[in-house]
Structure 1
Amino acid sequence: MSPLPLPVRIAAGLVATAVEQARDLPRLVVEFPVTAVSQALQASMRMQQKVTELAIKGDRALGTLRPVEERPSWATFDDEDDDERVARNGAVTELRRTSRPEPDTIVETVVEAVVEPEAPAAEDVVTGPNVLPDYASMTIPQLRGRLRHLTVEELRSLLAWETARGNRPPYVTMLSNRITTVTEA
């Protein structure tokens, strides 16, 4: 038997494929909505990924133009007390303003604390006060974790040391707030 010409064989292949597709048509009709939804979701997710990638690149570009907060207001840490979180987030801050000492009293307290300690040794200036010897090298989160365990006198000593040397606003604020929290408790 001689082989049939190529166009006839191609035509037969097309007919066989059409018959197979016709048999699968009921299944494909049922699966079509699921397939369409799946493909739409995939396209949506790809678009979201692209948008997110662009936002990240934009954040990096803008990050070079503006300074980053040392600690965003929404950030919380596991080692914080609930009272500290509430006070920092402002829920109690308004209530505390009426009970806080007047600015003159705060200045007097700091001046008294500065006058009370002895003159610092040379290594004290570099490393920190005796209360927390490694204080000078601590970051804000590290300091926050240690403040809960200090007494009011130790906190005042740290505040005096900070105001006499570095006078870094975030550290002064954190120490002042902690002193207020401990004295009001």
Structure 2
Amino acid sequence: MATAPYGVRLLVGAAVTAIEETRKLPQTILTYPMTVASQVAQLVMKVQQDVAQLVIKGDETLEALFPPKEEQPEWATFDEDLEDQDGEEPSGDGQRRTAGRYALFTDAEPATADGQQSTESAESGEPKPVEVPAIVNELDYDSLTLAQLRARLSSLRVADLEALLAYEQATRARAPFQTLLANRITRATAK
């Protein structure tokens, strides 16, 4: 078979392509709005990226020409600043204040070798020994969070709960722990 001239092949190829595209036209018309919308969104995002890059370059240039001053406002004071000025701790006694709702997360006083824990007497200011019940050591009570204690309450006897409540009142006196233990004792004795 002889090869058709170049122009004829070109015209036949263009005609076949036009027919194929005409057949795809209904589907193309349906997807065209989404295609245009995605292309517009892509263009907007590209413009935003280009603007952001220009701003970053501008910031870098201005920072190189005019370095920022490391100044702290007069109203902003930090503990480190107070230590630097006075050469001592800012809170006089050096103790961290953990009262209030943050008392839940404070560390316990370490127990002494004889199994007693000392707390300060409110009236004399002297430490008084507190007997540490066996259940405190068994549960490692001093390291428990409120949620961990709540999870263990159902397995405890009323006597253990009362011992824990007395220990809590004599040592750290954290209101949420006392309330939790007292409520559990009330529920357990009501059964």
Confirm or deny a common fold (TM above 0.5): no
Query: Higher relative CO (CA 8 A, sep ≥ 6), structure 1 or 2?
Result: 1
Which structure has the larger Rg over C-alpha atoms?
2
Q: What is the TM-score of this pair, normalised by structure 2?
A: 0.39
Q: What is the TM-score of this pair, normalised by structure 1?
A: 0.40
Pick the structure with more strand per residue. Answer: 2
